Amino acid sequence: MRVFKFGGASVKDAEGIKNVYDVLQKVGYEDVLLVVSAMGKTTNALETVIKNYFDKSAELNSSVQEVKKYHNQILMDLFEEEKHEVFTAVNNQFSDLEYFLAHNKSPNYNFVYDQIVSYGELISTTILSHFMSFMGIKTQWLDVRNFIKTDATYRDAEVDWELTQKNIAKNVKRKILNITQGFLGSDENNFTTTLGREGSDYTAAIFAYCLNAESVTIWKDVPGVMNADPRYFENASLLNQISYREAIELAFYGATVIHPKTLQPLQKKEIPLFVKSFINPLLPGTRVAKGADLEPYLPCFIVKRNQLLISLSSIDFSFIMEEHISEIFALFHQFKIKVNLIQNSAISFSVCVEDKFENFKDLNAILSKKFKVDFDENVTLYTIRHFNDKAAQTVEKNKVVLLKQVSRETMQIITKES
């Protein structure tokens, strides 16, 4: 079995849905499992619904209607008449969403987030599955929450691999086109969980691992894995093939083409990963596999914006020792702040972090009791794998460099615009 993942950009409108059908016609669809994300910017739109829900905003109903209107237009563009059963199926899902908004009693933001945001994937796969059937391809729609079981860490759930593998091996049919949702799972009480933002790639890897798949293909609007984001760098080049190790390094530092969690399960069973273009599906793209090295061996640029550079120093000029660093990292873990770079000296300790859950204000109140705290907001972290002088100059040009760190293979530079 082959596992294909289509992200939100590939199914953002009716033409995107039709293009998925065309891709399958060209590359084959028998014995294939599709993992599909929410359509376009639906996740962002549902996050607005969540915000309005907690703010008790008068805009709550209109924000739900915006999501409904967006999907209804896609339905109207795809199907010949409103009597098609897909209209009822999608309306039922919106009814379930509205019922939750009206009756939920939990004040837990992360729990509510997962229950609401999941409708993006549930609706997109419902539409795609019905369209494939409409076009004559027999499909099986799978509710991924019945397959991927997790703990109850909402918004960043950990997979129960033993139970998940049992569910997938037992219930996924072969020799048919299976369609399921990315990003989602469920806990032991069958409440919806999510695997972290952009977790659909990870979903594809989970199914591939449990099914001993032939390969995983992530379909993108780019030719494959590039050595830099074309939005930020001119003349970005395609990497024809890279090793699991190199891909994991790139993902760890923040490359957005492959989700960080995706590669480990594939590497364990040596399942190759392809990153290919849904615009030109017959092009070879990038192959990620065992022992495949970078070709050519190019500097690779990774950009992480909206970072926070924190510098801690001891108030009494004493050394910052292991026990202090251990305490600091325990606080980062407690406040769910992701550390992307570390640099320390005798009396100071600097970290570049990502404050995804906006907890730094509370953390700073605690740190300030023991340390002198300086910080710079909205800095940019550049990581250059296989750096050279020219690559470093490209990053530093017209910017203020706040911190630079160099190892054998990697250079990291924190900048502010000058």
> Where do the structural domains in the chain lie, given as residue ranges?
2-213, 300-417
Cα separation, 225 vs 236, whole angstroms: 10
Residue 251 in this model has a pLDDT that exceeds 90: no
Q: Same CATH fold, 300-417 and 2-213?
A: no
Cα distances (angstroms) measured from residue 49 to each of 61, 305, 357: 8, 25, 17
Q: What is the residue type of 193?
A: T
pLDDT digits over 294-319, tens only?
A: 555 789 999 999 999 999 998 887 78
CA 3 to CA 217: how far, in whole Å? 6
**pLDDT at res. 292:** 61
pLDDT mean over 23-39: 97
Using alpha carbons, select from 57, 198, 182, 44 the residue that is nearest to residue 116.
44
Work out the pLDDT band at 80, boundaries 50, 70, 90.
Answer: confident
For residue range 339-391, what is the model confidence (pLDDT) as tens digits?
999 998 878 899 999 998 899 999 999 999 999 999 999 999 999 999 999 99
**Predicted local distance difference test score (pLDDT) of residue 44:** 96
For residue 234, the model assigns a pLDDT of: 87
pLDDT at 123 over 90: yes
For residues 335 and 320, give the distance between their C-alpha atoms in angstroms, rounded to a whole number.
21
3-state class of 92 per DSSP?
Answer: helix
User: Exposed (0-12), middle (13-18) or buried (19+): which is 109, by Cβ within 10 Å?
Assistant: middle
In terms of Cα–Cα distance, which of 110, 175, 170, 190 is closest to 139?
175
Q: What's the pLDDT score for residue 42? A: 98
Mean pLDDT, residues 137-144:
97
Q: Which stretch, 110-124, 225-239, 290-304, has highest mean pLDDT?
A: 110-124
Burial 272-281 (b: 16+ CB within 10 A, else e): bbbbbbbeeb
Cα atoms in the 13 Å half-sphere on the side-chain side of 109? 8
Say which DSSP state 8 is in.
G
Mean pLDDT of 56-66: 97
Average pLDDT over residues 253-262: 80
Give me the CATH topology for the region 300-417. Answer: VC0802-like (3.30.2130)
pTM: 0.86
The three-point CA angle 400-372-368 to 5° equals 120
Q: Which CATH architecture has domain 2-213?
A: 3-Layer(aba) Sandwich (3.40)
Q: Name the 3-class secondary structure at 413.
A: strand
Q: 232 pLDDT exceeds 90?
A: no
Q: How confident is the model at residue 81 (pLDDT cuts 50, 70, 90)?
A: confident
**Residue 271 pLDDT:** 97
Phi, psi (deg, nearest 5) at residue 391? -65, -45
In the chain, % helix, strand, coil (3-state, to 5) comes to 40, 25, 35
The Cα–Cα gap between 97 and 114 comes to: 12
C-alpha pair distances (Å), 216 with each of 105, 205, 265? 40, 7, 11
pLDDT tens digits for 166-222? 999 999 999 899 999 999 999 999 999 999 866 899 999 999 999 999 999 999 998
